[in-house]
């Protein structure tokens, strides 16, 4: 029995999932994590390294790796790819100037072999801001229809500020991962 199957067995017993949250800086990753955990979101500073948050969600334990998105630290993202079950890509739907940058970084991530099996949730965040693009428009800009057909993905409009859409997104992600890892027992 290989190490991987031992790890899988342990994970299966613990019902743990490893979620990687990435996106450009100021897209709302940390706010989403705090909001979903019922924590105060009024004072948040940019994430310069990463935060790990362990959250009980439904009957699972989510280990969420919230990684900073500044240009200077994006090259370190690859240090966090190992054993990622779910990938959450957060887009600031109101930051129209950086959507090309956003698409470029997501494309790079999706080329990563180590992330090829991960379920992908795209949060089109900041839907509460006037002038924000809709999830459908974001999907078009990111060219999601061209994605590898084997990849499980979904895009959900949300507001980290109001909490709208967050549960819908996480429910989908957790169910999708569970159906692959735990065969939904």
The binding site for GTP comprises 23-30, 69, 125-128
Which residues are part of the catalytic machinery?
70
Binding site: residue ranges?
Answer: 23-30, 47, 69, 125-128
- The residue behind tokens 């991962």 is 177
On whether the CB atoms of residues 21 and 29 are closer than 8 A, the answer is yes
- The residue behind tokens 């709208």 is 164
Dist CA 62 CA 54 (whole Å): 6
On whether the CB atoms of residues 155 and 106 are closer than 8 A, the answer is no
Q: Which two tokens stand for residue 108?
A: 């790079």
- The residue behind tokens 């180590």 is 114
CA-to-CA dists, residue 61 to 65, 112, 150, 156, angstroms: 13, 25, 26, 22
Binding site for Mg(2+): residue ranges?
Answer: 30, 47
């Amino acid at each position: 029995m290989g190490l991987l199957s031992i790890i899988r067995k342990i994970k299966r017993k613990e019902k743990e999932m490893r979620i990687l949250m990435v996106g450009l800086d100021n897209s709302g990753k940390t706010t989403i994590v705090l909001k979903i955990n019922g924590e105060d979101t009024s004072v948040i500073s940019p994430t310069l390294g990463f935060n790990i948050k362990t959250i009980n969600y439904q009957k699972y334990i989510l280990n969420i790796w919230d990684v900073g998105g500044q240009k200077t630290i994006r090259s370190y993202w690859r240090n966090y790819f190992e054993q990622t079950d779910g990938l959450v890509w957060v887009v600031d739907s109101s930051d129209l100037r950086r959507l090309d940058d956003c698409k470029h970084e997501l494309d790079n991530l999706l080329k990563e072999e180590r992330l090829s099996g991960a379920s992908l949730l795209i949060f089109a965040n900041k839907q509460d801001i006037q002038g924000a693009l809709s999830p459908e428009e974001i999907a078009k800009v990111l060219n999601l229809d061209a994605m590898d057909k084997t990849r499980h993905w979904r895009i959900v409009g949300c507001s980290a500020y109001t909490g709208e859409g967050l549960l819908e997104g996480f429910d989908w992600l957790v169910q999708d991962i569970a159906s692959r890892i735990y065969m939904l027992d």
